[in-house]
Chain A
Amino acid sequence: MDFLAVFIPLFPLLAALFIGIGHLFDRMSGDAGERIISNIAVLAISFSCFIALILLGADLLGMNSGSFSIGQWLGSDTFKIEVTFITTGYNTVLSALFSVLLLIVIRFSVNYMHRETGFRRFFFNLSLFASAMLLLVSSGNIVTTFIGWEIAGLCSYLLISYAYDRPIATINATRVFVTNRIGDAGFILGIGLSYFYAGTINWDALNALAGELTIPTATVIALCFATAAFAKSAQLPFTPWLARAMEGPTPSSAVFYGAVMIHAGMFLIIMLQPIFERAPLAMDALVIVGFATAVYSFTVGLTQTDVKSSYCFAISGQLGLMFLECGLGYWELAAYHLCAHAIIRCYQVLTAPSLMHNVVGNPIKTVSRDIINLRWLYIASIQRFWLDPIADRTLVRPIQGLGQDLSHFDIYVIDRLMGTPASPSRAISSLAQLEQKILSTSQSDFNINQFGHGSGIAGKFFEWTAKILGWFEERLVLQGIGMDIIDIGNKLGHAANTFERLLLKPRYLVLFVFIVLLIAATR
């Protein structure tokens, strides 16, 4: 039954392709189009869900061999990436669970997104995300997991900026994406180090080799992957991105940050259990970060006044607990915690918009007496411990400043030395500029003197060399050889003609005869 694993990510991918191509050619609009799109998306994820459940059943009955390979994707010397799928154990459980949750959320979105402007876009993203996520949990090697990981991150970016006409949404989307890229750097480094030290990038092989790795090696690899996991699962210090990500439509928030994608980091840690167990320092890091995140999220969550924000700190807090459990060695517990949390949170976030109706009349519970008077804690909580401003101050602004300085350097030094790529006077991008251009061209004849001119030192050098060569060509090659040789030929011809004419005159003829006779006589 192993081969079934291939189809789990495949169906949503096909659905996404279909919807995407339809969107590209502007088909499937209107209510009829909505019906087609939603049917396709729901049908695809239903198939995946069905297959995932069969695969899970087969695994429980012991009919799966463990992995299924469909061939090599990339090979360079000893570095080979095979597309393999894991068909046993926790991966099948997760792919079954996630596909069920994805099915629920996609079905929920059909009504929720009805007649929204970005209906096609939304379902394209959601299907693509479903495919990526199912690839992530079922893939047998780190690189294909990373592919799923990245596509999921991209879909998250696209859905946060779903309302891209609102500046806040796009700013938040960019911020979230960039924060996640810090984790991706750790992931890529982790892949590289695993290949370098262990010589493999297959999950099974890597974990089997864990015992042979030295402790520092295992620690470095584990810390790299831990960074990726912290970023993806919104652990400290990356937690603030989660609150920004709640910008997207509710179903996408539910599936990305409630149920599925937020757990990808935790999943990564669980996959690497043997490596982490080999690296005590990395385990400590899990404990510290998990615990700190749990405390932080609890404290900040106390002062939140809207449903989505409260949920988002509850989510990061629960994930913090999972990391803590892993760090303490309760791997089984963390795995169960993940599944349970995914189910509960999916339901909670989906119902968030109607929560206010359901709880109307219920009094809000006050916080406990012990911390109610701690004012500094209140301020810190309401400011979310200033994590965003700190990140701004320490990372964003210095980088922006550096960028500005480099831009100045570019304009004032590099451009002057090397010349600007094109004369800006001819580059026209807008209609207004065009009008302006027409006005200015009628006034001054700017073109004639500008031809064949470069700017900057390199450009000037270029120009002067070209000038010298042009003179050479004009004077020597064209004039000298081309014209002058013809002239010389003409002159020689004239001379020969003159000589001939002179020769034919009687006096020279007679003289010639005399000379001949003279020579003959001397013989």
Chain B
Amino acid sequence: MGILSTLLSTPVFGILVLALTPHHKINQIRSLANLFTSIALFLSCWLLVIYNQNDGAMQFNEQFILNPKLGTTFALGVDGLSLPMVFLATLLTSVALLASFNISTHVKSFHISILLLEFGMLGVFLAQDWSLFYIFWELTLSPLFLLIARWGGVRRHIASLNFVLYTMGGSIFMLISLFAISQYMPEHSGTLMSSMSVAVQSMPSGEQFWVFLGFIIGFGVKMPIFPLHGWLPLAHVEAPSPISILLSGILLKMGAYGLIRVVVMMPETAQVFQGPLVFLALLGMIYGGLLAWRQSDLKAMVAYSSVSHMGVILLDIATMNKTGIMGAILQMTAHGLVAGAMFMLVGLLYERTHTRNILDYSSLVQVMPRFALFMTITLFAAMGLPGTVGFIAELHAIVGGFQQWGNLMILLGLSILIGSAYAMRTIGMLFTGPVKSQMREIEDLRIFEILASSVLVMGIVVFGLWPAPLIDLSLSTMNLMNDIISQRLQ
């Protein structure tokens, strides 16, 4: 059994063990779940160590045929694009479990759902076969539906329903696109990503147009791209905070990840869509930023800022040049860390005060200095301040975008400006101002919470000051993808 399937099966073993544990032994359940996510985290660390950075192609390939009649295979592999995401998935799952100590109802099913979700997320990033990819993609839906609908806020039912309907609606289009490509595959040849990207070249360009549109809708709902983001504010606000961490940290990245794979698969068609995509990206950035600025609900603000930041990723992808796609990977990692940290901190604050309205807060720095430190660094990273990982990512976006469209990047600058407007205002309103009597007795972060948030914040700062390891990890894969794109476009 290779390392990838070991990694992938760790949450499954966790689910099996948890299923056999009696539901009233809450502490045992918690520690077991944490144990298995830690094992997964350790395995992905080990994967980082043994991964060969100089080889941009798929590594640690594993493959065996599932269905000989159709040719579908269980194929796993990892490259410079998926490896950061795999690591981020295991890291954020551990962090989310550390942040979920206050979940007190149905503890067992909560942890099983989270492990199932981890299984699905890892599967999406590791799968090298489109049908396997699709299975894992859909697999993430059911645990999320349960997690939001059972442990969410007041409007949790409508939020979870909305989320599932949106995503299912999107993935139907993805499925249709995949079927359309498989028409051009030889008989019984399966759905391997590599062979499908060969098959798609024999497709007439008129059909490719519709196929690519289907992919954009499918992945765009998840990402989300501007008009398809309706599920996100509701789901993020209503989800319990550990789930918000995973939702914004990893699940949104699945859309971007899929879109990059598709762009590399069919660059000629992607070039046709370049204009509309950059339009949607810039519009989404400004739209999300302005709406985040309007929210007085802290979680809604973070949710809309996610829309804005995912717009940056879409812009990066739409540049289709080396700097841009590098920026997309960096922004995916950066946003994973930043949004994860932000949702966690906001969630921890909510547990203490039971209000998400920013106007209720004031002068928290006096009672929660540690929280103030972490939150401020995270918000700085969200606005792309130099010295944080957000800056590195936005810099790539600006450089890559400028190579492609020149002065249009003023709009990106505008969205960064809007981003700093709400980030600075949030810092000001949370931490300064008059002391309110109801805000005097709040407990600062506890030891596990400090552990969880400092991992993320350290990542934000360390990669902000020293981004070279992060860039080197994906560089050779980027070169490979860029070569493919530029060869095909000639």
A residues in contact (CB < 8 Å) with B: 422, 426-428, 434, 437-438, 441, 447-448, 451-452, 462, 465-467, 469-470, 473, 477-478, 481-483, 485-486
Contact = CB atoms under 8 A, between A and B. Distances in A.
B275 interface: no
A465 to B, nearest CB: 6
B434 A483 contact: no
Contacts of A451: 296, 359
Closest 10 A/B residue pairs (Cβ): A466-B290, A437-B434, A477-B230, A452-B294, A466-B294, A481-B230, A482-B230, A447-B359, A438-B434, A482-B162
B290 A428 contact: no
A477 B233 CA distance: 10
Contacts of B231: 482
Nearest to A436: B434
A438 B233 contact: no
B159 to A, nearest CB: 9
A469 B233 CA distance: 14
Contacts of A452: 293-294, 296
Contacts of A481: 230
A137 to B, nearest CB: 38
A441 B434 contact: yes
Interface in B384-428: 418, 424-425, 428
A90 to B, nearest CB: 45
A486 B162 contact: yes
A398 B103 CA distance: 68
B432 A428 contact: yes
B225 to A, nearest CB: 12
B165 interface: yes
Contact of B293 (A428, A434, A466, A486): A466
B369 interface: no
Contacts of B234: 478, 482
A467 B295 CA distance: 11
Contacts of A437: 433-434
Q: Is the interface of B mostly helix, strand, loop or mixed?
A: helix
A68 B162 CA distance: 74
B161 interface: yes
A424 to B, nearest CB: 11
B291 interface: yes
Given A426-B428, A426-B429, A469 B287 contact: yes
20 contacts: A422-B424, A422-B425, A426-B429, A426-B432, A427-B428, A437-B433, A438-B434, A451-B296, A452-B296, A462-B293, A469-B290, A469-B291, A470-B290, A473-B291, A477-B227, A477-B229, A481-B230, A482-B158, A482-B234, A486-B161
A454 to B, nearest CB: 9
B65 interface: no
Interface in B212-240: 227, 229-231, 233-234
B435 interface: yes
Find the residue from A428, A465, A477 having the highest chain B CB count within 10 A. A477
B361 to A, nearest CB: 11
Given A477-B227, A478-B230, 18 more contacts: A427-B428, A427-B432, A434-B435, A438-B434, A438-B435, A451-B296, A452-B294, A452-B296, A462-B293, A466-B291, A466-B294, A467-B294, A469-B294, A470-B291, A477-B230, A478-B234, A482-B234, A486-B161
Nearest to A450: B359
A428 B425 CA distance: 14
A485 B158 contact: no
A477 B291 CA distance: 13
A437 B165 CA distance: 48
B294 A478 contact: no
Interface string B285-323: 001001101101000000000000000000000000000
Contacts of B425: 422
Contacts of A426: 428-429, 432-433
B294 A470 contact: yes
Q: Which of A451, A465, A483 has the most C-beta atoms of chain B within 10 angstroms of its own C-beta?
A: A451
Interface residues of B, number: 26
Nearest to B434: A437
A397 B234 CA distance: 60
Interface in B159-207: 161-162, 165
A466 B288 CA distance: 10
Nearest to A467: B294
A82 B95 CA distance: 50
Contacts of A482: 158, 162, 230-231, 234
A485 B168 CA distance: 14
B396 to A, nearest CB: 23
B428 A422 contact: yes
A469 B292 CA distance: 11
Given A428-B434, A482-B162, A462 B290 contact: yes
A465 B227 contact: no
Nearest to A459: B421
A141 to B, nearest CB: 31
A480 to B, nearest CB: 8
Nearest to A442: B434
A231 B425 CA distance: 47
A486 B230 CA distance: 13
A98 B467 CA distance: 46
A467 B290 CA distance: 9
Contacts of B291: 466, 469-470, 473
Contacts of B428: 422, 426-427
Nearest to A440: B434
A422 B428 CA distance: 9
A31 to B, nearest CB: 37
A400 B369 CA distance: 42
B6 to A, nearest CB: 41
Nearest to A483: B158
A483 B233 CA distance: 13
A468 B227 CA distance: 15
A448 B435 CA distance: 17
Contacts of B429: 426
Nearest to B304: A473
A483 B157 CA distance: 12
Contacts of B287: 469, 473
Nearest to A429: B432
Contacts of B433: 426, 428, 437
Nearest to A438: B434
Given A438-B434, A478-B233, A486-B161, A448 B359 contact: yes
A468 B359 CA distance: 22
B26 to A, nearest CB: 35
Contacts of A470: 290-291, 294
B162 to A, nearest CB: 5
Given A452-B293, A482-B234, A434 B165 contact: no
Contacts of A485: 165
A447 B294 CA distance: 14
Contacts of A473: 233, 287, 291
A466 B290 CA distance: 5
A471 B234 CA distance: 16
Among B158, B296, B424, B433, find the residue whose CB has the most chain A CB atoms closer than 10 A: B433
Contacts of B359: 447-448, 451
A343 B234 CA distance: 81
B369 to A, nearest CB: 17
Given A452-B294, A470-B291, A434 B434 contact: yes
Given A422-B428, A451-B296, A486 B165 contact: yes
A477 B225 CA distance: 13
Contacts of B294: 452, 466-467, 469-470
Interface string B84-110: 000000000000000000000000000
Contacts of A428: 432-434
Contacts of B229: 477
Contacts of A483: 158
B250 to A, nearest CB: 23
Interface in B411-467: 418, 424-425, 428-429, 432-435
Q: B158, B290, B418 — which one has the most chain A CB atoms within 10 A of its CB?
A: B290
